[in-house]
Amino acid sequence: MAAEAVKPWWRETIETIIWAFVLAMIIRTFIVQAFWIPSGSMIPTLEVGDRVLVAKFWNVFFEPKRGSLYVFRYPVDRERDFVKRIIAIPGDVVDIQNGIVYINGEPTDEPYVKRHDYFTMRPSNIFPEVPFKVPEGKYFMLGDNRGNSQDSRFWGFADIDDMRGPVFFRYWPLDRIGIPK
């Protein structure tokens, strides 16, 4: 039996680096991606500087649900990603009066909103009729810090094809590590 040829150390190192890079790109593209929270639109749930993990594969198996935190491609600038809470799903009828969100005629219970504003939906170019129905394949997204959130009230709906995935874990800062609600 012939002895196996031993690869030089430099070739082993290069192969290991290449395989690690390929594996990292596959994981980041299809499975899990880390995101940094740059604004205060989700306070107190997510704070400026928080780092979260998003399950990018989730939408293949499950429909996005009302109340979930999602990262999605910002419809106004498709180079940016936003994180907001899904407030209404396709088919829901939405209205906002004096800061209270009504889904299908019922006021919502939103314990995650600590700073209520007094926003009232009015007919506009984005929403010509109020209340309005969320179209198929679209989601109505709001920030938890309503007075400081650029959200669906101002730019319309997020498309299902732009949904990156749900936020499932905060890994930074260490004193806030865990599952954001």
Single out the catalytic residue among 68, 84, 138, 149: 84
Whole-angstrom Cα distance, residue 177 to residue 144?
Answer: 19
The reply to whether 41 belongs to the active site is: yes
> Of the candidates 84, 69, 63, which has an alpha carbon nearest to the alpha carbon of residue 152?
84
The counts of H helices and E strands in the chain are 3, 11
Count of CA atoms in the C-beta half-sphere (13 A) of 109: 0
How far is CA 115 from its chain centroid?
Answer: 20
User: Are residues 111 and 65 in contact, defined by beta-carbon separation less than 8 angstroms?
Assistant: no
Whole-angstrom Cα distance, residue 33 to residue 29?
Answer: 7
* Matching residue, tokens 């865990």: 178
Single out the catalytic residue among 41, 68, 149, 152: 41
Residues with catalytic roles: 41, 84
